[in-house]
Amino acid sequence: MLLLSLLVAFALFSPTPFVHSHYNWSPSSSSTSNFQSEWRPARATYYAAADPRDVVGGACGYGDLERNGYGKATAGLSTVLFDKGQICGACYEVRCVEDLRWCIPGTSIIVTATNFCAPNYGFDLDGGGHCNPPNAHFVLPIEAFEKIAIWKASNMPIQYRRIKCRKEGGVRFTLGGSGIFLSVLISNVAGSGDIVAAKVKGSRTGWLPMGRNWGQNWHINADLKNQPLSFEMTSGDGATLTSYNVAPKNWNFGQTFEGKQFGS
């Protein structure tokens, strides 16, 4: 099992008070319908709590998962599920199936996609290549795995389904970069959980589209210093959320600010 871990280049949350004011949330028809999808088959393995990837890193760029509110309720996804990082932030319900020796009956867990389980083409699909295409595979912290199965099970058949994310507080924007390069990590997203488009606006600019750097890190080259920043995001289910003046005029790189939240 090879779990790709990328270190995050952003400063962790600062003690700067969260700033949030006006916002607008525009649900699409799909966002107001039942988001819960049908159960699908997959397999799951786990990694040990002593692994440093349990604390910091991940291909979605969320950094310290404990400090940033994700805890142990996280998952690394195989290639066919990860979708080149566009699925980062999505939530899944997972349950153990088929093996009465190891499954804990009547249990399920809810996890957020925070990492990528890279393929290992040196092994076959049933050997060490658990995350090779076309396998649907989840890599879980052992603390999450043990809520649905006995740890000795190792590589377990499971079922999973996409569900709405429920988060405490608002969407968080962690600002990184230098000079005119602005990078924004968008985290703690409720609703569909994933962001497919993002824009930023200064007090002296119109709405400027941002590009996806990797995972849920978005970037733009624009001189936005000494301006309050507003953000507009579109989630995977088509809902749009606009948070005005999230970051104050005197914002700095390395700070985190909290906006409003998608309906869940």
Q: What CATH code is carried by the domain that includes residue 206?
A: 2.60.40.760
186 DSSP β-pair partners: 173
Average pLDDT over residues 139-151: 93
Identify the pLDDT of residue 23. Answer: 32
Per the structure, the complete domain to which residue 112 belongs is given by 40-163
Domain boundary among 108, 141, 163: 163
User: Are 202 and 212 a contacting pair, CB within 8 Å?
Assistant: no
pLDDT: is 177 or 20 the higher one?
Answer: 177
Does residue 35 sit within a domain?
Answer: no
Assign 143 to helix, strand or coil.
helix
For residue range 225-252, list pLDDT tens digits in order. 999 999 999 999 999 999 999 999 999 9
- Give the pLDDT confidence score for residue 36 in this predicted structure: 63
pLDDT tens digits, one per residue of 38-53: 999 999 999 876 655 4
Q: How confident is the model at residue 63 (pLDDT cuts 50, 70, 90)?
A: confident
Evaluate whether residue 121 is within a structural domain: yes
54: DSSP letter: G
Closest CA to 191 of 109, 263, 260: 263
Q: What's the pLDDT band for 56 if we cut at 50, 70, 90?
A: low
Residue 222 has pLDDT above 90, yes or no: yes
Is 248 inside a domain boundary?
A: yes
Q: Are residues 212 and 144 in the same domain?
A: no
User: Average per-residue pLDDT in the chain?
Assistant: 83
- Look-up of token digits 């079922």: 159
Torsion of CA 241, 188, 170, 213, to 10 degrees: -50
86 and 147 together in one domain? yes
User: Of 174, 246, 147, 176, which is closest to residue 13 (Cα–Cα)?
Assistant: 174
Asked which of 112, 135, 163 is the last residue of a domain, the reply is 163
Q: Would you state the pLDDT for residue 52?
A: 52
Tell me the backbone φ, ψ of residue 54, rounded to 5 degrees. -70, -20
Q: Residue 211: is its pLDDT beyond 50?
A: yes
Helix (H, G, I), strand (E, B) or coil at 144: helix
- Distance separating alpha carbons of residues 79 and 119, to the nearest angstrom: 7
pLDDT, average across residues 71-91: 94
Which CATH number does the domain housing residue 62 bear? 2.40.40.10
Closest-CA residue to 245 (of 257, 253, 233): 257
- Residue 200 within any structural domain of the chain: yes
Pairwise CA distance, residues 104 & 240, whole Å: 39
- Number of domain units in the chain: 2
Does any domain span residue 219? yes
As a whole number, mean pLDDT of residues 61-83 equals: 91
Q: How confident is the model at residue 35 (pLDDT cuts 50, 70, 90)?
A: low
Read off the pLDDT of each residue in 96-119 and give the average, rounded to a whole number.
92
Same domain, 192 and 237: yes
Q: Which pTM was predicted?
A: 0.82
- Report, as an integer, the average pLDDT of 202-219: 95
Are 185 and 60 in contact by the 8 Å Cβ rule? The answer is no
Q: Is 30 part of any domain?
A: no
